[in-house]
Each structure stands twice: as C-alpha cells, then as structure tokens.
Homo-oligomer: A and B are copies of this chain.
Amino acid sequence: MNYFSSDFKLGILGGGQLGKMLLFDTRKFDIQTYVLDPSDEAPSKIACNQFFKGDLMDYETVYNFGKQVDVLTFEIELVNLEALTQLENEGLKIYPSPKTLKGIQNKGVQKDFYAQHNIPTAPFARFENLENLKSAIVNQHSTINLPFVWKCTEFGYDGNGVKVIRQTSDLDNLPNVECIAETMIPFKNELAVIVCRNPSGEIKTYPVVEMEFHPEANQVEYVICPARIDEKVAQKARAIALNVSEKFNHVGLLAVEMFQTHDDEILVNEVAPRPHNSGHYSIEASYTSQFENHLRAILDLPLGNTDSKVAGIMVNLVGAEGFSGEVIYENIETILGWNGVTPHIYGKKQTRPFRKMGHVTIVNEDMAEARRIAEEVKNTIRVISKK
C-alpha cells in the first residue's frame, strides 16, 4: 500500500486536539486525511484534507463517513460502535478495532476483562443502576465497604462520572445509571505507560510516566517522563502494559493508567485506546512522538523508537476559574523565554473554567532542572479571557 502523496485516505473520528496533533504527522508524511467532528471550530479542521461536520454518535453519519476512507481510526472513544462494527464487517480496516473498543468503552466490561485475564486491578462490583448499589450497601453486600469509589460505566470523561463515597449519603444526587463500586486503593504514585502495536504484532512501550499531583487539590499538575521510580517497578509496569495491549489484541496506541501501591504492587486503573494526555511530552522529548507512532501502527508501518532524547515534563493549560470568553494566554511570552519550553495551543477561541485549552512541554537534559522550570511555568502562565 502506498500511503505517501497518494490517493490513500485515512479517516479520523473526532477533530479535537488529539486529532490536531496527529495531523502534524499525516502532513509530515503527506498522507490524506478525512476528519469527522460535530464542531465547526474543531482544532483539526484546518490541516486535514477534508472536514465533515457531524455527530460521532449517529450511526448513519459515522457509517457514511467510514465508507469514504481506506483506513479508519478515532481520537475519542465516544463514537457509534454499531456503525464501526458494521463497517469492519464490510471489510474496512478500523484501528483500534471496534471489538477492542467494545471491551473498553464500558468501564464495567473493562474491569471484568481485567478480572478474566488476571490483569491486576482494584477489587470492584458492578451494578445495573444506583438503586441496586444502594440496596447492596443496605444489605451489607460483602464486597462493598466504605469508603469506595463510585464510577459510572459509560460516558465518563476527565474525572466526570467518578466520585469517592465516604458515607452512603454521598450517593445522593448521583445519576441512576450502570456503575461500579471500586475498593479505594491508597497509592504511592499514579503511573501511565503508552503501548503501541501494529497489525503485524510489532509492539513497543514508551517509558513509564508519573503523574504528580497537587499536594492539596486532588489534580494532576505534572506528567513526568521518565517516572522517578525504581527501575524494577518501571519494568513491572511496562510488562503489565504490554500484557494488557496483547490481551486486548489492540492496534494503535493504548494508554494504560496504573497505580503503584505502597508495597510496589502495580494495579491497572483504566486504559484509553488512542493518543493520550500522558504522552504529549513525547512530541519534544521522544525520538518518535506518540502521534507518529499511532500513525505508523494503524498503517502497519514499522514502529519508531519510543526512547527519550531528554527528560520531559508536561503541564496542562486549563481555563482559569472565573474566566469565560475569548481566550488570552497571560504571560505566554515570558515562558517562551525559558529554556526548553514549548507551549501547544489547541485553538479553542473560547475559554471556560477547567477547559483543556493547551499544554506546555518542558524538556531538559537534567530532570531536576526540567521540574524546576515546569513549576515556574505552572505558576506563571494563566488561561484567562478578555475583560
């Protein structure tokens, strides 16, 4: 198959920032892209060859889009699975496969999958709806002890649909949907490993990254590569991530989020079958970015080197509280003056509190120096709006 400057068409479901960054590499290789997204202001709109506006959850829309391309991928899990399944049955190459996505889209199914394949994960129980969960607690159902973590199984995103339940009253006002109750695991570190795998079975992992949380606010502040952990633990985490990818028979990128417990046990939290926030550092720090490797993987090309050239840290740029409207990146000129600092602006014209507007990567030969600069970046740039 000739992909380069040819008539080949890659379809991408979703035109957000992940798609936008993927397009840097389709452009670099001059591979034609069709993008489907519901928004006229999708960050991917400009750099693709053909942009289609439409609902990613609508069967007809996704099906008709898929019929126009040679290979189909997605940058978001919330897409119409039935349409993908039908397209795959009709012979379209879809990576990751809808079969894989089906095992991931629903967190209950995903957790069952780990249990069935002896992949270490936190103990949990599934419930058809909130009422069943409540009665299970009332009836002292053995597997559930307070405190626990409530997660709705579908359509949760960026922390939505997750809540720590310390007393039964915390369940009040939660939606009455399918959910799981997961044992709360005290952990030392939250880690992630990105795996890439192509249809021929070539498979590679990126180094383990570490999510550093704000001491008070329970919010990731820095994604740090490589994680500042023991090499044995890192090897174990990469081995588990490889195993998860192979068990899913996954093609493309799989981001595996994990907990490192206090006794250095590794538990899989959840996975994302696409380029991931925890891999953004790779654009500047790695020999091959996660986006280029996703592209190589789904086109069954050889995978690129996942090693790092230098230490990398990523800081998310989210809308500051109390600001809504036309975005301003306060002090961006200041941070541009610092060594190894690269802002990525996703192209959303309007900011809202906590909206993901971009990220900043800090690279340096010396991790401690990168960490110092990252903290200055975090404390200097602000995503606000025009007064």
Contacts and interface: CB of A to CB of B under 8 A. Distances in A.
Leading 3 A-B pairs by shortest Cβ distance: A302-B337, A30-B345, A30-B347
Interface residues of A, number: 43
What is the interface of chain A mostly: helix, strand, loop, or mixed? loop
Contacts of A339: 287, 305
A302 B346 contact: no
Contacts of A134: none
A304 to B, nearest CB: 7
B301 A333 contact: yes
Given A5-B348, A27-B347, A46-B46, 5 more contacts: A4-B343, A30-B346, A46-B49, A288-B342, A304-B342
Contact of A4 (B23, B340, B345): B345
A287 B363 contact: yes
Contacts of A345: 4-5, 28-30
Contacts of A329: 2, 4-5
Interface string A31-50: 00000000000000011110
28 contacts: A4-B327, A4-B329, A4-B332, A4-B345, A5-B329, A5-B348, A5-B349, A20-B27, A23-B47, A24-B27, A24-B28, A27-B46, A28-B343, A28-B345, A30-B345, A46-B46, A46-B47, A46-B49, A287-B339, A287-B340, A296-B336, A301-B336, A302-B336, A302-B337, A304-B336, A309-B309, A309-B363, A309-B365
Nearest to A349: B5
